[in-house]
Structure 1
Amino acid sequence: MPAPEAFAVTAACCSALSSMFLSELKGRVPLLQLARWQMLATFVMTGSVSLAIGGWHTIGPREFWLLAGSSFAGISIASTTYFATIYSVGPRITALLFSLTSPFALALGYLVLGETISHWQALGVAMVLAGIMLAIGMPRRFLKRGDLAPAMPVVTPSTVPVSTAPGPPLTGRLGPGILLGVTTAFGQAIGTLLARPAMAAGVEPFSAMALRSGLAVILFIALTATPFGRGKREAVQVGTVGLAVLSAFVGTSLGMSCLMAALRTGNVGIISTLSSMTPVIILPMVWLRSGQRPTTAAWAGALLAIAGTALISLGRV
């Protein structure tokens, strides 16, 4: 496999592995505390690289405000709902719902920037939606227990077991989880839309990520002054913090580095497609961790969503 394509697949693997690490933290760290740890770790890592290569000077006033808006939508909101989606429905369904980012970005580009949508891209949107519906839009009797349970089950009063009886698909915890996942994809799409002009103006990628994560850290810290942001106090354990930092390193620092390396010399459409393979890559990880074999529909839905993303991405080239 050529180097750019290998880097893109590695980025997808990093995203899948990072979400598996995050699922282990359910019941061990509150949501906003996890967001603070993640963004602080990301800021330190990417900020250090930016300082080392001198990238901060590439950010002008216009680029700063574009990236600030991108930070609010794509990190402060989308990252928080992303973590909440993993806590709610697990990493496999979260990865599937994140595939909606491409259709949302395509629609926003059409509505806001006046970009055109080809017939192939429209077909790709339909395939992504069909793939998600195939994998999770079915009665619960077709879902295996590991699909909704976290990688490390935590018994709490709010934990709802997955019923094996026939019933509507959007009950219990699946409905709110889907809503959180859709919010994540939409927020990420808005963040990408706002960041696109800044990156086109020549902003260095690590500096852009450091600015976005740094602004998010400030917001998350400011939220601690409110009753909503404080939440209940939890004893900080070294292993818990380490797992959160490891997830940030694998998913953001290492994953983003591989993606940037892939985009440097690779075809944008092909790289975007390969880096979106997370829904398939994560299936054997969930299988290995939970001991539950994913259903045929889960594999088919993930592959269909990736094929749809490929049509959307390649249609832009």
Structure 2
Amino acid sequence: MTLISEAFAIAAAFCFALSSMFLAELKGRVPLFQLARWQMLATVAMTGLISAGLGGWRTVGPLQFWQLAGSSLAGITIASTTYFATIYAVGPRITALLFSLTAPFAVALGYLAYGETITGRQGLGIVLVLGGIVLALGIQDALKPAAPASATLTAEPGAPAPPAAGWGFWLGILLGIVTAFGQAVGSLLARPAMASGVEPFTAMALRSGLAALLFILLSATPLGRSSRQPLRAGALGLVVASAFVGTTLGMSLLMAALHAGHVGIVSTLSSMTPVLILPMVWVRSGRRPALSAWLGALLAIAGTALISLRGG
């Protein structure tokens, strides 16, 4: 079963990469909060049906509900919104790379909240993740002044001018960091509920459902009303495809991999999104990613492996 679980983990990473490519196509077509609302509604519909079929709602008690509610606020409402914003700002490749920061943040939060030990190997892993991100971003190029508007060429769907776009580029980086931190906090808050036996799809349905409710309430405010656009089948189809591929199918594969495989190996293989997305960006944009992008992504994955793998 080991090879099957490893294949499932890689397939999950592929699904996460493809989902972000779908989302990148929505830049300029769907406002941010409207995208978040549609995405959460599609996700809760899909995962809710799976949960109902599995009888998962019986695994949630009052305590687990509130634990998952806190996780929803940090890991879904906040982190998903900043995730979409990051894709819009800097594109899916850099977004996937910045998402690698979730592992270092999770280790640090585990240390602060639960007194978990940070080993030397995990410390080296954190350094590799950070180094890989810096290398892949091409930080020296990013520090150069932004190119004039007449020279702007899209390096990848949803991305600004390569490799820098002034303050917009750095805002996207900041949003990506917030996304990774929010995901780590969300996972930390959900950990007790999951350890108590809550069914995974039920947890996802509950978290996304609460987030969808908040986004629906937000749509009644001036901020939400200003971001509405007419419903178009093509854009809605991309949102639903992203929710299905990234959340429903991707999470199903990940859960199947975790069920039969080694947690550390599965976590590492499922974090291969920054590498798997590079050919997708290449095909979509017609531009080959720089060597530093490949090397940086590989370094980030190696760092995640050192953080995730236990023993030895």
TM-score greater than 0.5 by the shorter chain:
yes
CA distance in 1, matches of 2:254, 2:116: 24
Other-structure match for 1:212: 207
1:147 offset after TM fit, Å?
A: 9.8
CA distance in 1, matches of 2:156, 2:76: 23
CA distance in 1, matches of 2:43, 2:170: 30
RMSD: 2.1
CA distance in 2, matches of 1:210, 1:36: 14
Other-structure match for 1:291: 286
Alignment of 1:1-317 (within 5 A): 2-136=3-137, 137-140=139-142, 149-151=155-157, 161-162=161-162, 171-315=166-310
The 8 Å contact of residues 156 and 284 in structure 2, kept in 1 or not, is answered as no
CA distance in 1, matches of 2:93, 2:153: 7
The 8 Å contact of residues 26 and 150 in structure 1, kept in 2 or not, is answered as no
- Any idea what SS the aligned residue of 2:166 has? coil
CA distance in 1, matches of 2:178, 2:125: 20
Counterpart residue type for residue 12 of structure 2: A
Q: Normalising by the residue count of structure 1, what TM-score does the alignment of the two structures yield?
A: 0.92
1:227 offset after TM fit, Å?
A: 1.3
Q: Normalising by the residue count of structure 2, what TM-score does the alignment of the two structures yield?
A: 0.93
Between structures 1 and 2, the one with greater helix share: 2
Gaps of 5+ in 1: 154-159, 164-168
Question: Relative to 1, partners in 2 of residues 1:148 and 1:116: Cα closer, same or farther, differing over 3 Å?
Answer: farther
Question: Relative to 1, partners in 2 of residues 1:62 and 1:148: Cα closer, same or farther, differing over 3 Å?
Answer: farther
CA distance in 2, matches of 1:245, 1:150: 22
What is the CA deviation profile of residues 176-215 of structure 1, one whole-angstrom value per residue up to 9, with x for unaligned ones? 0000000000000000001111000000001100000000
1:232 offset after TM fit, Å?
A: 3.7
What is the CA deviation profile of residues 250-271 of structure 1, one whole-angstrom value per residue up to 9, with x for unaligned ones? 0000000000000001000000
Question: Relative to 1, partners in 2 of residues 1:146 and 1:74: Cα closer, same or farther, differing over 3 Å?
Answer: farther
Counterpart residue type for residue 233 of structure 2: V
Q: What fraction of aligned residue pairs are identical, expressed as a percent? A: 66
CA distance in 1, matches of 2:85, 2:41: 18
Question: Relative to 1, partners in 2 of residues 1:147 and 1:61: Cα closer, same or farther, differing over 3 Å?
Answer: farther
The 8 Å contact of residues 47 and 201 in structure 2, kept in 1 or not, is answered as yes
CA distance in 1, matches of 2:252, 2:199: 12
Gaps of 5+ in 2: none
- Any idea what SS the aligned residue of 2:167 has? coil
User: After the TM superposition, which segments of 4 or more aligned residues of structure 1 sit over 2 Å from their partners?
Assistant: 145-150, 160-163, 169-172
Count of residue pairs the alignment pairs up? 305
1:152 offset after TM fit, Å?
A: 6.5
What is the CA deviation profile of residues 277-304 of structure 1, one whole-angstrom value per residue up to 9, with x for unaligned ones? 0000000000000001000100000000
The 8 Å contact of residues 134 and 300 in structure 1, kept in 2 or not, is answered as yes
